[in-house]
Amino acid sequence: MNWFRQERDKLRQLPRRQRLTYIWDYYRLWILGLVALVVISAYMIGNFIHANRDNQIYVVYANTFTDLGENSDFWEGYVSFSGADTSKENVIFDDENYFDMSKSSVTRNYYYEKVVVLIDSETMDAIVFETENLALLGQSGRLMDLNDERTRALMEKYADRLITVTHEDEDGTSREIPVGFDISDSRLVTEEGAYSGECALGISASAQHIDAVEQLLDYLLQGA
């Protein structure tokens, strides 16, 4: 307490500019440490709150620099359209992912590995990508075959938008498998400018919220 009083009295005697200089010179480490503590605490509290809620949907938007994440106009629009209660469930639009499936080095790309983990852990529900990249990801087997019973009705609903890849069976027979939907005329292109050309949406092979993915497609293609 004596030290505190001495410092207080010392500061009172200094002009304003010198007072600020003194505080910064002698206490900047404490100030920076306190700021860091507040930021880290807020981050951890936010993560704790999100981690203790189920996801309504988790979507990866690859190779875009447009803000599509939480609290963006695009995110808010989907929340309103879907009726999601974000006080009870998470709507996660992950828009920080950059990789090219046509590159042989993609398996060493952090973002690609992250997407693989999200798929394998049954976290990711859908991914939006340039059409060619999406087809290559579908070729790898990480996207749902839309002939699946869970997505058949959705496939029929948007039958004119199917993106297919060629699969060769063990007996050598080739067949076309639908792995995504063409959304090149969606609001992501026409309103958000998130993609400048062709883009498509694919559903994770381990998606847990297919009904929400259908809501997302309806939102994206509203008025298209």
Reported as type and span, the H/E element at residue 26 is helix 16-51
CA atoms within 13 A on the CB side of 113: 5
Express each pLDDT in 147-175 by its tens digit: 999 999 999 999 999 999 998 777 778 88
Residue 131 has pLDDT above 70, yes or no: yes
Give the model's confidence band at 34: pLDDT under 50 very low, under 70 low, under 90 confident, else very high: confident
pTM of the model: 0.76
- How many residues make up the chain in this entry? 224
Spatial strand order of the sheet with 199-203 comes to: 89-97, 54-62, 126-130, 199-203, 174-182, 162-168
The C-alpha atoms of residue 153 and residue 148 are separated, in whole angstroms, by 9
Residue type, 188: L
